[in-house]
Amino acid sequence: MTPLYKQSWAVTAVLLNMVGQGMLLSYTTSLLPALQAPDSPIPIDLQTSSWLSSSIGIAGIPGFFISSALMERYGRRIAHFILMVPGLLGWLLIYAGNTVPVLLMGRLLGGMSAGATVSLGAIVIGEYSSPKYRGMFLTLKTASVCLGGMFVHILGHFYDWRTIAMQAMTPYIISLAIIWTWPESPAWLASKQNYEKCEKNFYYLRGNAAEAQRELEDMLQSQMSRASQTTKQLSLRQKMIEFFKKFTKKNFLGPMFILLSSTVLLEASGRHIFPAYALQIISEITGSKSQSYYYTLCIDAIITVSAVCSSILVNVMRRRTLLLSTGLAACSVLMVVCTYLFLVARGFISEDYHFIPIGLFVMYFILANLGCSPIPVALLGELYPLEHRGVGSAVTGVFISLGVNLALLLTPYLLVSIKVYGTFAVLGLVMAVNLTILYYTLPETKDRTLQEIEDYFVDGQFKDNRNIKESQVTVKMLK
């Protein structure tokens, strides 16, 4: 088997988990209308429906911290396997649940598992795949989430919410089976000074080409140097002091501010809102629930295709150019469609031409999924310096969870009070503000090494050192 096949096999487990997360996010489009029906055996009000939808966001916060602890102690393979089990149990609870608390517990377990594996999955892709394919695999995570959302919308037309909950277990089960076949991450083994097994697993995944050998030698040299400088274990008090000291350092605050702004941009672009409330949004625009199903499926398919296309564009275009150009265009289209829907609501334009706002929304989501969705996720793995990467990922992860929870919690109230046009007008304004912030603060990271990016946040500019000849690696390989 070729290295690409072995890497693809390992990454498939992560992508299937992302499909499951997409199904978890979009599941409320089938669950909430059924529970809100007059003959529902589990009646709910607007507040309860809002919490059922948004609970996955807040549940992700403990997931980020649990993931960080498990992956460092037990390795990537065992941690990923363990952290997917709560998601599977969550779907079982939803399938068997007859009360709101049981359904809510199922959603909380699913949200915790999603939060725990979203960052761990990115780390697995980064450590298991070669630089040549890494960008493509990382961006396919977004496409996989979109695909999972589309599956739920299709299944919702033919099955009830309990049956869909049972079907949603399938990607989790297949993913768990694949994870069991993984070799342990070479990077984690090197960090634990298990150099012999690290080399064996690295060559299994990457092959023994010259580039792969140089990458392995660099990694071993770095980890051996780090191991030789390791001091005594810090006490809990000393660890807490070191944690809070990070919030006073320029090379931590700079990336954190950019990532917080990009996270707000991600949520404002409708990344998590639309899959969760797609049928309600389209129903209000078209005035027909039967037509809204087909419109939703078309938009799902287009969003998924555009997310796949972004994996190509991220590799050929500058990050800033792609983000700012598509973001500005998306904001412009969004303002046009909001204005159109406002005029329809006031009776200035006939409401018979549904294809116009639907077409504009399609254009908007294409643009948003080319830049505003994939690039913030990519930045999470690029901006933080190595010394701050663990804490920085946890802090940003908590902010992402809070953002998802707040967006899903407020959206039902916004749709009722200010309708679709008002809701998306607010989101468009938030997008514009954060695009402006990123215009002034975001450095261009394409083709830059992580060390160059790390130096940028110390010096405030990139060093022109690309022509410096690569130093010779002298680490003797373990045989």
List the CATH number of the domain containing 54: 1.20.1250.20
Which of the four pLDDT bands, split at 50, 70 and 90, describes residue 472? very low
Amino acid at position 439, single letter: Y
Q: Quote the pLDDT of residue 386.
A: 62
| Integer Cα distance of 244 and 233 in angstroms | 18
Express each pLDDT in 369-399 by its tens digit. Answer: 888 888 887 777 677 776 676 677 778 888 8
> pTM for this structure?
0.78
| Tokens at 276, concatenated | 């969760």
Decide if 200 is inside a domain. no
427 and 305 fall within a common domain: yes
306 and 454 fall within a common domain: yes
59 and 167 fall within a common domain: yes
Of the residues 163, 182, 201, which one is the last residue of a structural domain? Answer: 182
Decide if 322 is inside a domain. yes
- The secondary structure of 212-244, three-state, reads HHHHHHHHHHHHHHHHHCCCCCCCHHHHHHHHH
Express each pLDDT in 27-74 by its tens digit. Answer: 888 888 888 888 888 888 878 887 888 788 788 888 888 887 788 788
pLDDT above 60: residue 468? no
Termini Cα distance of the chain = 22
| Integer Cα distance of 199 and 479 in angstroms | 9
250 and 178 fall within a common domain: no
| Integer Cα distance of 457 and 255 in angstroms | 8
45 and 118 fall within a common domain: yes
Decide if 252 is inside a domain. yes
Amino acid at position 458, single letter: V
| Sequence-distant (≥ 6) Cβ neighbours of residue 347 within 8 angstroms | none
Decide if 134 is inside a domain. yes
253 and 365 fall within a common domain: yes
Decide if 390 is inside a domain. yes
Chain mean pLDDT for the chain:
83
pLDDT above 70: residue 469? no
352 and 250 fall within a common domain: yes
Residue scoring higher pLDDT (113 or 146): 113
178 and 296 fall within a common domain: no
Catalogue the E-assigned strands of 276-330: none
Q: Quote the pLDDT of residue 232.
A: 61
Residue scoring higher pLDDT (128 or 82): 82
Decide if 213 is inside a domain. no
Which of the four pLDDT bands, split at 50, 70 and 90, describes residue 289? low
User: Where in the sequence is the domain holding 312, given as residue range(s)?
Assistant: 246-460
DSSP code for 255: H
Decide if 273 is inside a domain. yes
Of the residues 145, 163, 182, which one is the last residue of a structural domain? Answer: 182
347 and 431 fall within a common domain: yes
Q: What is the average pLDDT across 256-278? A: 85
287 and 174 fall within a common domain: no
| Tokens at 51, concatenated | 């919490």
Express each pLDDT in 208-246 by its tens digit. Answer: 888 788 778 877 877 787 677 665 666 667 767 777 777
Of the residues 136, 158, 182, which one is the last residue of a structural domain? Answer: 182
277 and 143 fall within a common domain: no
Residue scoring higher pLDDT (95 or 450): 95
- The owner of tokens 């999603």 is 114
Based on the structure, what is the number of domains in the chain?
Answer: 2
**Alpha-carbon distance values, 306 to 96, 142, 314, 362 (Å):** 36, 10, 12, 10
Decide if 473 is inside a domain. no
CA 39, distance to chain mean position in Å, is 37
Q: Percentage of the chain surpassing pLDDT 70?
A: 90
Q: What is the average pLDDT across 355-368? A: 88
177 and 272 fall within a common domain: no
CB 109 within 8 A of CB 59: yes
Nearest to 369 by CA among 429, 436, 301, 419: 301
